Amino acid sequence: MHPAPRPCNAIPEISVSRPWAQDAIRAADLLIDVREADEFAAGHLQGAVGMPRGVLEFRLAGNPAFERRDLRMVLYCKTSGRAALAARSLQSMGYMNVQSIAGGIEAWVQAGLPIVLPEQPSFD
């Protein structure tokens, strides 16, 4: 039995269960956390840039650093819903190499992979 064909505009997902997942993410030109600012501040992936889903297209369109449509982008959110919507939007803007992290940051944390946590003040 053959798997069902994926639509040509399906968003490739990076599974955190794969041994090469961290390498694929490090190889990206841009790692984007599309969660809200407070979610990003509570913990995010190393090297991620916080661009909430609601302003993503505006931030990318208004910045010359993101003009290249062949940029390798990896997106994530809490569970992967917002990242999938954002990735589809970026594809419609002409970005050709957009991926998302399957299961989002929740899957990442459940897999025991590292995140950047806010530093707590020291009262010593």
Q: What is the mean pLDDT of residues 117-121?
A: 80
Q: What does residue 99 show for φ and ψ, rounded to 5 degrees?
A: -130, 165
- Residue 15: how many other CB atoms lie within 10 Å: 13
Q: What is the 3-state secondary structure (H, E, C) of 28-42?
A: CCEEEECCCHHHHHH
pTM assigned to the model:
0.87
Q: Mean pLDDT, the chain, as a whole number?
A: 89
Residues 76 and 108 sit within 8 Å (Cβ to Cβ): yes
pLDDT above 80: residue 7: no
pLDDT digits (tens, 9 = 90+) for 8-34: 458 899 999 988 888 889 999 999 999
Measured between alpha carbons, how far is residue 83 from residues 72, 90, 123 in Å? 15, 10, 38
Q: What is the mean pLDDT of residues 60-72?
A: 93
pLDDT above 50: residue 45: yes
Q: Which domains does the chain have, with CATH numbers?
A: 13-110 (3.40.250.10)
For residue 109, give the amino acid letter.
Answer: V
Q: What is the mean pLDDT of residues 44-73?
A: 94
State the residue for tokens 């569970």: 79
